[in-house]
Structure 1
Amino acid sequence: MRTLRRSRSRPWPLGEPTSPDGQISTVDLLLVRAALHAGATPGQAVTALHDRGGVLDTTARRIAAGEDLPALALDPACPGGPLVRALAVAEVAGAAAGPVLDGLVDGVVRAAELDRLVRTRSAQARLVARMLTTLPVVGAVGIAVFDTGARTFLTGPGGLVLVVVAGLLVVVASWWMRHLVASVGRAVRDVDPLVVAMRRIGRPAPGSVGVPPTPGEGLPTVEALELLAVSLAAGMPLVEAMGLVARLGPPAVRGQLRRAADGLRAGLPPFEAFPEGLAEAADVIDISRRWGAPAVASLRLLADDLGRRAAAASEAAAEQLSVRLVFPTTLLLVPAFGLLVVVPLVVSAFSGFRLGP
């Protein structure tokens, strides 16, 4: 499953895209997978990570204390949410959890490769952003140390005004650059149909947790499609499968999924019941029903294609970062450098000249 990217996230320093506080390691997933293949239930498999530390340690402790996977999956803040939700859906639907873990391992590997790719492609732009942000300040300190006239001007009333104005320009430029760098990480989310539809509405969907998707939680549409495929593969009817995904699926879009499940229960066809973000999935299910073919493989291919589109969008955003950084540099940092460095040097140079005989 391509949804398992990172468990939690925090802002990176200036010049770096979003980074996790921690991420579910491939080793942890392999331990869970080994326990499943040895005959353990999904809950028992997760408790194999007890006392190992990391993201899943808290979840393993809660399961060992008596909580079950479906109850944990309902918690939007549950550490290792995508893994917990996938195992919970497999457990409730009666699907084999081993193949689900195989997909999760593949998702972790792909996420790590994507992170390395984005960081590598944007490394030069991030370094330039750091250098350009500090250049006006470093330049001003340098001339104040080595040029007495410039130092006298900068400490005077007129110089202090320039320092304040230039400082504001640097602060705004720093915020602008941080925003541009963060857009590399947001590019993945910007291709997710359910997230885009939710933003278009402009307010949280009824029944949702009321917050935008956590960056570390992957793509809600991809996770929803793959959880739906897991449920259908276990033999659940479409109405029950969508109801299960709406209850245990990605927290940020549960409201949209719940409305789709309600529409199916009311007898609406998928293309009418499904939200706009799942229009392609509705088409796949309708065609599969019409021809009597299973929709599981097609839904998984659709999820995989969406994941690849998100990766391409993130890579393109990383490559465009250098060009976008030109705007805060030209409009803000260059004037700040002029106010802090060029103006004091000019004033210092002309202060030695006297007019008249």
Structure 2
Amino acid sequence: MTGAGVRSAVVGLADLRGRMVAGAPVGDLRAVPARVQRAVRVALEVGAPVLPAMDAAAAALDDDRARARAVRVATAQARAVAVGLVCLPVVLVPGLGRLLGVDLLGFYATGPGLAVLAVAGSLLAVGALLVAGVVRRAVALRPAGRRGAAPAVLAGAVIGIGAGPTAGVVAGVVVLGLRRPVADPADPALDEVADLVATALAGGLSTSAALRLVGRVGIGDRTALDRLALAADLGRADETAVGPVAPLAEVLAATRRWGAPAAASLRALASDLRAERLADALAAAERLPAQLTVPTALCLLPASVLLLGAPLVADGLAHAGGW
């Protein structure tokens, strides 16, 4: 969210809070973020207090913005390094060629030069794509989805042409592992699900009714929520503590076992889930410099060596009378 968007959301939340405190109708909710809209609508539907639901949603949005800022700060240096790694061969090779007195343009106008340029250009392109993907993964605020194997195949093919099939296979496997998303069995929207279920329970709904209501809102895995609601009807929530709603099922089972109110525990669960996402995001940011060494070693550095080394070798052979 941009700075203007954040300010607009803050103004909308302040206006909504003022209406709630004054006992005025809720009115148009389009000025507040979507998460707050959902929280307020669920609270109104079940007759729960609106202010606590709105405050929980606003706190979650604050956590998300804080996480985004922390990730931007933590990855700032690595992102600058990534830009430098991609641009360095383009700037360094002509400069060194001029310094060493090598006719780069003359070499790259020949047949062998065009072949070298094609291979090195492919390496640079693959390296740039890999660097961009690694950086994008590090700053992403949601878990990555399924990723294709095309970049790994391309990297393996390009490196295989230049360094042999064994090196190509190794490069492809490394790139595929680098792009593989980290397993995250939990629903990324589970913190909002927990907050909405807590609001529905505060309005007097049963556990199963609250779960079904939140499933209809369109947040989270509706199939998993309906399955958990059925288990709650049957008194068997303990047996459903697997899959994307496992943390939610465990909290509901524990509170049911001891007869304790579940709303406060669900709010705490939502806060813990957001804290875990922050820790995961910062850990990914810390891994970014190490991950950048892979495209550098596999693609960018070989491309630089090839772009500069081939003209040097050709120039040496020409002076020796062998070219």
> Take 2:259 and 2:267, find their aligned partners in 1: how far apart are those partners?
18
2:222 paired residue among 232, 242, 254: 254
CA displacement, residues 201-247 of structure 1 (integer Å, 9 cap, x when unaligned): xxxxxxxxxxxx9xxxxx31111111111111111111211111110
CA contact (8 A) 1:264 1:273 kept: no
Alignment of 1:189 with 2:143, yes or no, is: yes
2:49 paired residue among 70, 85, 96: 96
> Take 1:354 and 1:335, find their aligned partners in 2: how far apart are those partners?
27
Q: Which amino acid aligns with 1:301?
A: A
> Take 1:183 and 1:352, find their aligned partners in 2: how far apart are those partners?
48
2:23 paired residue among 39, 43, 48: 39
1:21 Cα shift? 11
1:269 paired residue among 219, 223, 236: 236
The verdict on how the C-alpha distance between 1:120 and 1:104 changes in structure 2, with shifts beyond 3 A counting, is same
CA contact (8 A) 1:140 1:341 kept: yes
> Take 1:274 and 1:32, find their aligned partners in 2: how far apart are those partners?
37
Count of paired positions: 282
CA contact (8 A) 2:225 2:245 kept: no
1:181 Cα shift? 1.2
1:286 Cα shift? 2.4
Residue in 2 that maps onto 1:315: 282
Indicate the larger mover: 102-111 or 161-170: 102-111
> Take 1:241 and 1:96, find their aligned partners in 2: how far apart are those partners?
15
> Take 1:262 and 1:92, find their aligned partners in 2: how far apart are those partners?
22
1:337 Cα shift? 0.3
CA contact (8 A) 1:188 1:311 kept: no
1:322 Cα shift? 0.4
SS at the partner of 1:325? helix
1:298 Cα shift? 1.0
- Aligned sequence identity (%): 32
The verdict on how the C-alpha distance between 1:274 and 1:82 changes in structure 2, with shifts beyond 3 A counting, is farther
The verdict on how the C-alpha distance between 1:22 and 1:133 changes in structure 2, with shifts beyond 3 A counting, is farther
Q: Which amino acid aligns with 2:282?
A: E
The verdict on how the C-alpha distance between 1:334 and 1:21 changes in structure 2, with shifts beyond 3 A counting, is farther
Residue in 1 that maps onto 2:245: 278
1:43-58 equivalent positions in 2, closer than 5 A: 44-46=27-29, 49=31
CA displacement, residues 81-128 of structure 1 (integer Å, 9 cap, x when unaligned): 322221221111111111122223322332222212111111111111
CA contact (8 A) 1:271 1:279 kept: no
The verdict on how the C-alpha distance between 1:176 and 1:326 changes in structure 2, with shifts beyond 3 A counting, is same
The verdict on how the C-alpha distance between 1:263 and 1:286 changes in structure 2, with shifts beyond 3 A counting, is closer
Q: Which amino acid aligns with 2:24?
A: A
Residue in 1 that maps onto 2:150: none
Q: Which amino acid aligns with 2:143?
A: R
> Take 1:349 and 1:149, find their aligned partners in 2: how far apart are those partners?
12
Alignment of 1:340 with 2:307, yes or no, is: yes
Query: Please, which runs of 5 or more residues in structure 1 have no aligned partner?
Result: 1-5, 7-18, 50-55, 57-79, 199-212, 214-218
Query: Please, which runs of 5 or more residues in structure 2 have no aligned partner?
Result: 145-182
Q: Which amino acid aligns with 2:271?
A: D
RMSD between aligned residues: 2.8
CA contact (8 A) 2:211 2:229 kept: yes
SS at the partner of 1:189? coil
